[in-house]
Structure 1
Amino acid sequence: MKLPSARLTGLLILCIAIPLAIGLIGSVFTLPEIAGWYAGLNKPSFTPPGWIFGPVWTLLYILMGVSLWVVIKDGIGDRSVQQAVILFAVQLVANLGWSVLFFGLHRIAAAFLEIIFLFALIAVTTLSFWRIKTTAGWLLVPYLCWTGFASLLTGSVWLLN
Protein backbone atom coordinates (compact mmCIF):
# COMPACT_ATOMS: atom_id res chain seq x y z
CA MET A 1 0.00 0.00 0.00
CA LYS A 2 1.45 3.35 -1.05
CA LEU A 3 1.02 6.16 1.48
CA PRO A 4 0.43 9.79 0.41
CA SER A 5 3.59 11.94 0.70
CA ALA A 6 2.25 13.89 3.70
CA ARG A 7 1.74 10.63 5.58
CA LEU A 8 5.18 9.39 4.51
CA THR A 9 6.72 12.57 5.91
CA GLY A 10 4.84 12.21 9.17
CA LEU A 11 5.86 8.57 9.39
CA LEU A 12 9.50 9.50 8.77
CA ILE A 13 9.40 12.09 11.55
CA LEU A 14 7.86 9.53 13.92
CA CYS A 15 10.40 6.86 12.98
CA ILE A 16 13.27 9.26 13.69
CA ALA A 17 11.67 10.59 16.88
CA ILE A 18 11.41 7.13 18.46
CA PRO A 19 15.16 6.36 18.61
CA LEU A 20 15.91 9.99 19.50
CA ALA A 21 13.48 9.70 22.42
CA ILE A 22 15.28 6.56 23.61
CA GLY A 23 18.55 8.48 23.42
CA LEU A 24 17.04 11.34 25.39
CA ILE A 25 15.83 8.96 28.09
CA GLY A 26 19.28 7.36 28.20
CA SER A 27 20.88 10.77 28.63
CA VAL A 28 18.93 11.21 31.87
CA PHE A 29 21.07 8.40 33.30
CA THR A 30 24.25 9.39 31.47
CA LEU A 31 24.71 13.14 31.72
CA PRO A 32 24.69 13.47 35.53
CA GLU A 33 27.42 10.82 35.82
CA ILE A 34 29.94 12.11 33.27
CA ALA A 35 31.71 14.78 35.32
CA GLY A 36 31.84 12.73 38.53
CA TRP A 37 31.66 8.96 38.43
CA TYR A 38 32.70 8.42 34.79
CA ALA A 39 35.53 10.97 34.97
CA GLY A 40 36.98 9.03 37.90
CA LEU A 41 37.13 5.70 36.03
CA ASN A 42 40.29 4.32 34.49
CA LYS A 43 39.77 4.28 30.72
CA PRO A 44 41.77 2.78 27.87
CA SER A 45 44.00 4.97 25.72
CA PHE A 46 41.62 4.63 22.75
CA THR A 47 38.72 6.28 24.60
CA PRO A 48 37.36 9.05 22.35
CA PRO A 49 37.04 12.58 23.71
CA GLY A 50 33.78 13.10 25.59
CA TRP A 51 32.39 15.65 23.15
CA ILE A 52 32.22 13.02 20.36
CA PHE A 53 29.56 10.83 21.96
CA GLY A 54 26.60 13.23 21.68
CA PRO A 55 26.96 13.96 17.95
CA VAL A 56 27.75 10.32 17.09
CA TRP A 57 24.75 8.95 18.97
CA THR A 58 22.46 11.64 17.55
CA LEU A 59 23.51 10.71 14.02
CA LEU A 60 23.14 6.99 14.76
CA TYR A 61 19.64 7.48 16.19
CA ILE A 62 18.64 9.45 13.08
CA LEU A 63 20.03 6.71 10.80
CA MET A 64 18.16 4.10 12.85
CA GLY A 65 14.93 6.05 12.42
CA VAL A 66 15.41 6.41 8.68
CA SER A 67 16.18 2.69 8.46
CA LEU A 68 12.97 1.88 10.32
CA TRP A 69 11.04 4.14 7.98
CA VAL A 70 12.53 2.48 4.88
CA VAL A 71 11.39 -0.90 6.20
CA ILE A 72 7.85 0.02 7.20
CA LYS A 73 6.80 2.66 4.66
CA ASP A 74 5.69 0.15 2.04
CA GLY A 75 5.01 -3.01 3.97
CA ILE A 76 3.89 -2.76 7.59
CA GLY A 77 1.22 -5.37 6.84
CA ASP A 78 3.87 -7.92 5.84
CA ARG A 79 4.76 -10.49 8.52
CA SER A 80 8.53 -10.22 7.94
CA VAL A 81 8.30 -6.45 8.36
CA GLN A 82 6.35 -6.84 11.58
CA GLN A 83 8.97 -9.27 12.94
CA ALA A 84 11.77 -6.90 11.94
CA VAL A 85 10.03 -4.01 13.69
CA ILE A 86 9.72 -6.12 16.86
CA LEU A 87 13.46 -6.87 16.70
CA PHE A 88 14.11 -3.16 16.22
CA ALA A 89 12.02 -2.33 19.30
CA VAL A 90 13.78 -4.97 21.41
CA GLN A 91 17.23 -3.67 20.46
CA LEU A 92 16.09 -0.13 21.29
CA VAL A 93 15.10 -1.25 24.78
CA ALA A 94 18.46 -3.01 25.13
CA ASN A 95 20.19 0.17 23.95
CA LEU A 96 18.53 2.07 26.79
CA GLY A 97 19.36 -0.75 29.20
CA TRP A 98 23.09 -0.22 28.68
CA SER A 99 22.83 3.42 29.81
CA VAL A 100 20.84 2.40 32.87
CA LEU A 101 23.31 -0.35 33.81
CA PHE A 102 26.53 1.52 33.07
CA PHE A 103 25.77 5.09 34.08
CA GLY A 104 22.66 4.76 36.21
CA LEU A 105 23.62 1.74 38.32
CA HIS A 106 27.42 1.78 37.83
CA ARG A 107 27.29 -1.94 36.99
CA ILE A 108 30.13 -2.11 34.48
CA ALA A 109 30.30 -5.92 34.24
CA ALA A 110 26.54 -6.17 33.72
CA ALA A 111 26.72 -3.36 31.16
CA PHE A 112 29.43 -5.28 29.30
CA LEU A 113 27.31 -8.43 29.13
CA GLU A 114 24.32 -6.35 28.10
CA ILE A 115 26.18 -4.58 25.29
CA ILE A 116 27.32 -7.94 23.89
CA PHE A 117 23.64 -8.95 23.85
CA LEU A 118 22.79 -5.57 22.27
CA PHE A 119 25.44 -6.09 19.57
CA ALA A 120 23.89 -9.47 18.71
CA LEU A 121 20.41 -7.93 18.59
CA ILE A 122 21.61 -5.16 16.29
CA ALA A 123 23.28 -7.72 14.01
CA VAL A 124 20.08 -9.76 13.78
CA THR A 125 18.00 -6.60 13.24
CA THR A 126 20.41 -5.43 10.53
CA LEU A 127 20.12 -8.75 8.70
CA SER A 128 16.36 -8.72 9.08
CA PHE A 129 16.13 -5.18 7.70
CA TRP A 130 18.59 -6.06 4.93
CA ARG A 131 16.36 -8.89 3.74
CA ILE A 132 13.44 -6.50 3.47
CA LYS A 133 15.25 -3.48 1.99
CA THR A 134 19.01 -3.48 1.44
CA THR A 135 19.16 0.26 2.09
CA ALA A 136 17.61 -0.22 5.52
CA GLY A 137 20.28 -2.76 6.41
CA TRP A 138 23.09 -0.48 5.26
CA LEU A 139 21.69 2.35 7.37
CA LEU A 140 22.17 0.21 10.50
CA VAL A 141 25.79 -0.75 9.73
CA PRO A 142 27.30 2.39 11.36
CA TYR A 143 25.27 1.63 14.52
CA LEU A 144 26.52 -1.95 14.51
CA CYS A 145 30.13 -0.79 14.08
CA TRP A 146 29.88 1.86 16.80
CA THR A 147 28.29 -0.63 19.18
CA GLY A 148 31.14 -3.04 18.45
CA PHE A 149 33.58 -0.30 19.41
CA ALA A 150 31.48 0.59 22.47
CA SER A 151 31.59 -3.09 23.48
CA LEU A 152 35.37 -3.04 23.37
CA LEU A 153 35.41 0.21 25.31
CA THR A 154 32.98 -1.08 27.95
CA GLY A 155 34.93 -4.32 28.37
CA SER A 156 38.17 -2.36 28.71
CA VAL A 157 36.69 -0.03 31.32
CA TRP A 158 35.46 -3.08 33.23
CA LEU A 159 38.93 -4.68 33.17
CA LEU A 160 40.65 -1.44 34.20
CA ASN A 161 38.34 -0.84 37.14
Structure 2
Amino acid sequence: MRGLVVHIAVALVVTLALNGMIFAFGWNLNPTTRLRPSFAPPGPVIGAIWTILIAGMAASLWKLRSLRQSGLATGVVVLLAVCLGYPFYALASNSQWVGFAGNLVTLGLAAGLAWKSWPISRFAAVPLVAVTLWVSYATLIVIALLRG
Protein backbone atom coordinates (compact mmCIF):
# COMPACT_ATOMS: atom_id res chain seq x y z
CA MET A 1 0.00 0.00 0.00
CA ARG A 2 2.91 2.35 0.71
CA GLY A 3 4.02 2.01 -2.91
CA LEU A 4 0.59 3.08 -4.12
CA VAL A 5 0.68 6.20 -1.95
CA VAL A 6 4.18 7.08 -3.20
CA HIS A 7 3.18 6.61 -6.86
CA ILE A 8 0.12 8.83 -6.45
CA ALA A 9 1.97 11.46 -4.40
CA VAL A 10 4.73 11.82 -7.01
CA ALA A 11 2.16 12.01 -9.81
CA LEU A 12 0.19 14.69 -7.97
CA VAL A 13 3.25 16.82 -7.27
CA VAL A 14 4.31 16.69 -10.94
CA THR A 15 0.76 17.40 -12.13
CA LEU A 16 0.28 20.35 -9.81
CA ALA A 17 3.64 21.77 -10.91
CA LEU A 18 2.61 21.42 -14.58
CA ASN A 19 -0.78 23.01 -13.92
CA GLY A 20 1.04 25.90 -12.25
CA MET A 21 3.29 26.28 -15.31
CA ILE A 22 0.32 26.22 -17.68
CA PHE A 23 -1.31 29.15 -15.89
CA ALA A 24 1.94 30.98 -15.09
CA PHE A 25 3.05 30.98 -18.73
CA GLY A 26 -0.45 31.70 -20.03
CA TRP A 27 -0.55 28.48 -22.05
CA ASN A 28 -4.20 28.16 -21.12
CA LEU A 29 -4.91 31.32 -23.14
CA ASN A 30 -4.51 30.54 -26.82
CA PRO A 31 -4.53 33.85 -28.74
CA THR A 32 -5.59 32.11 -31.97
CA THR A 33 -8.77 30.71 -30.40
CA ARG A 34 -11.64 33.07 -31.04
CA LEU A 35 -14.37 31.29 -29.12
CA ARG A 36 -14.36 28.19 -26.96
CA PRO A 37 -17.08 25.65 -27.69
CA SER A 38 -20.01 25.93 -25.30
CA PHE A 39 -19.43 22.37 -24.09
CA ALA A 40 -15.78 23.00 -23.14
CA PRO A 41 -15.21 23.23 -19.39
CA PRO A 42 -13.16 26.11 -17.95
CA GLY A 43 -9.39 25.70 -17.71
CA PRO A 44 -9.26 25.09 -13.95
CA VAL A 45 -11.80 22.27 -14.31
CA ILE A 46 -9.69 20.70 -17.04
CA GLY A 47 -6.65 20.95 -14.76
CA ALA A 48 -8.56 19.29 -11.90
CA ILE A 49 -9.72 16.48 -14.18
CA TRP A 50 -6.18 15.85 -15.36
CA THR A 51 -4.94 15.82 -11.77
CA ILE A 52 -7.40 13.02 -10.99
CA LEU A 53 -6.56 11.14 -14.20
CA ILE A 54 -2.81 11.34 -13.56
CA ALA A 55 -3.33 9.99 -10.02
CA GLY A 56 -5.38 7.15 -11.52
CA MET A 57 -2.65 6.34 -14.04
CA ALA A 58 -0.11 6.29 -11.20
CA ALA A 59 -2.35 3.79 -9.37
CA SER A 60 -2.54 1.69 -12.55
CA LEU A 61 1.23 1.77 -12.84
CA TRP A 62 1.62 0.64 -9.23
CA LYS A 63 -0.87 -2.21 -9.68
CA LEU A 64 0.69 -3.45 -12.92
CA ARG A 65 4.15 -3.34 -11.36
CA SER A 66 2.90 -5.27 -8.33
CA LEU A 67 1.46 -7.91 -10.70
CA ARG A 68 4.81 -8.03 -12.53
CA GLN A 69 3.21 -6.88 -15.78
CA SER A 70 6.30 -4.99 -16.91
CA GLY A 71 5.20 -4.51 -20.52
CA LEU A 72 1.89 -2.93 -19.54
CA ALA A 73 3.58 -0.93 -16.79
CA THR A 74 6.03 0.46 -19.34
CA GLY A 75 3.06 1.38 -21.54
CA VAL A 76 1.51 3.32 -18.66
CA VAL A 77 4.82 5.16 -18.13
CA VAL A 78 4.75 6.14 -21.82
CA LEU A 79 1.11 7.24 -21.48
CA LEU A 80 1.99 9.33 -18.45
CA ALA A 81 4.87 10.93 -20.38
CA VAL A 82 2.61 11.75 -23.33
CA CYS A 83 -0.06 13.22 -21.02
CA LEU A 84 2.41 15.20 -18.92
CA GLY A 85 4.16 16.41 -22.07
CA TYR A 86 0.97 17.82 -23.60
CA PRO A 87 1.48 21.36 -22.25
CA PHE A 88 4.90 21.48 -23.88
CA TYR A 89 4.04 20.12 -27.32
CA ALA A 90 0.51 21.47 -27.74
CA LEU A 91 -0.26 24.38 -25.44
CA ALA A 92 3.14 26.07 -25.66
CA SER A 93 3.08 25.82 -29.46
CA ASN A 94 -0.46 27.33 -29.65
CA SER A 95 -1.25 24.77 -32.35
CA GLN A 96 -4.67 23.14 -32.41
CA TRP A 97 -3.36 20.62 -34.95
CA VAL A 98 -0.52 19.54 -32.67
CA GLY A 99 -3.06 19.17 -29.86
CA PHE A 100 -5.31 17.11 -32.12
CA ALA A 101 -2.44 14.81 -33.10
CA GLY A 102 -1.42 14.47 -29.45
CA ASN A 103 -4.99 13.59 -28.51
CA LEU A 104 -5.12 10.86 -31.16
CA VAL A 105 -1.86 9.33 -29.91
CA THR A 106 -3.03 9.56 -26.29
CA LEU A 107 -6.41 8.10 -27.17
CA GLY A 108 -4.92 5.12 -29.01
CA LEU A 109 -2.40 4.44 -26.28
CA ALA A 110 -4.90 4.73 -23.40
CA ALA A 111 -7.53 2.59 -25.15
CA GLY A 112 -4.99 -0.09 -26.03
CA LEU A 113 -3.61 -0.23 -22.50
CA ALA A 114 -7.13 -0.34 -21.03
CA TRP A 115 -8.05 -3.19 -23.37
CA LYS A 116 -4.96 -5.22 -22.49
CA SER A 117 -5.16 -4.48 -18.75
CA TRP A 118 -8.86 -5.28 -18.30
CA PRO A 119 -8.51 -9.10 -18.12
CA ILE A 120 -5.51 -8.80 -15.79
CA SER A 121 -6.73 -6.17 -13.31
CA ARG A 122 -9.86 -4.04 -13.27
CA PHE A 123 -8.11 -1.83 -10.70
CA ALA A 124 -5.41 -1.04 -13.26
CA ALA A 125 -7.77 -0.81 -16.23
CA VAL A 126 -10.51 1.51 -14.92
CA PRO A 127 -8.29 4.63 -14.72
CA LEU A 128 -7.10 3.92 -18.26
CA VAL A 129 -10.72 3.69 -19.42
CA ALA A 130 -11.32 7.05 -17.73
CA VAL A 131 -8.39 8.57 -19.65
CA THR A 132 -9.80 7.13 -22.88
CA LEU A 133 -13.22 8.67 -22.22
CA TRP A 134 -11.82 12.07 -21.21
CA VAL A 135 -9.46 12.30 -24.18
CA SER A 136 -12.32 11.33 -26.50
CA TYR A 137 -14.32 14.25 -25.11
CA ALA A 138 -11.30 16.58 -25.27
CA THR A 139 -10.77 15.58 -28.90
CA LEU A 140 -14.33 16.70 -29.68
CA ILE A 141 -13.44 20.08 -28.17
CA VAL A 142 -10.31 20.33 -30.32
CA ILE A 143 -12.29 19.37 -33.45
CA ALA A 144 -14.80 22.12 -32.64
CA LEU A 145 -11.91 24.59 -32.27
CA LEU A 146 -10.41 23.50 -35.58
CA ARG A 147 -13.75 23.92 -37.34
CA GLY A 148 -14.44 27.27 -35.67
TM-score after normalising by structure 1: 0.77
Cα distance in 2 between the residues matched to 1:121 and 1:127: 10
**2:49 aligns with one of 56, 62, 68:** 56
Cα distance in 2 between the residues matched to 1:35 and 1:101: 13
2:107 maps to a residue whose letter is: F
**Structure 1 stretch displaced more, 38-47 or 139-148:** 38-47
- Following superposition, the deviation at residue 108 of structure 1 comes to 1.4
- The reply on whether 1:15 has 2:3 as its aligned counterpart is no
- The reply on whether 1:127 has 2:127 as its aligned counterpart is no
Which one has the largest radius of gyration? 1
Q: Decide whether the 8 Å contact of 1:29 with 1:100 is kept in 2.
A: no
Matches within 5 A, 1:59-74: 59-73=52-66
Alignment RMSD (CA, Å):
2.3
Q: 5+ unaligned residues in a row in structure 1: which ranges? A: 1-7
Cα distance in 1 between the residues matched to 2:10 and 2:137: 23
Q: Deviations over 1:17-53 (max 9, x none)?
A: 3433552454355212256436954211211133312
**2:82 aligns with one of 51, 75, 94:** 94
Cα distance in 1 between the residues matched to 2:26 and 2:140: 20
- CA 1:33 to 1:41, structure 2 compared with 1: closer, same or farther past 3 Å? farther
Cα distance in 1 between the residues matched to 2:44 and 2:132: 20
Cα distance in 2 between the residues matched to 1:126 and 1:93: 16
- The reply on whether 1:114 has 2:120 as its aligned counterpart is no
Q: Decide whether the 8 Å contact of 2:54 with 2:80 is kept in 1.
A: no
* Identity rate, percent: 23
Number of equivalent positions: 147
- The reply on whether 1:105 has 2:98 as its aligned counterpart is no
- CA 1:111 to 1:92, structure 2 compared with 1: closer, same or farther past 3 Å? same
Cα distance in 1 between the residues matched to 2:13 and 2:31: 23
- CA 1:94 to 1:16, structure 2 compared with 1: closer, same or farther past 3 Å? same
Matching residue of 1:43 = 36
1:118 maps to a residue whose letter is: T
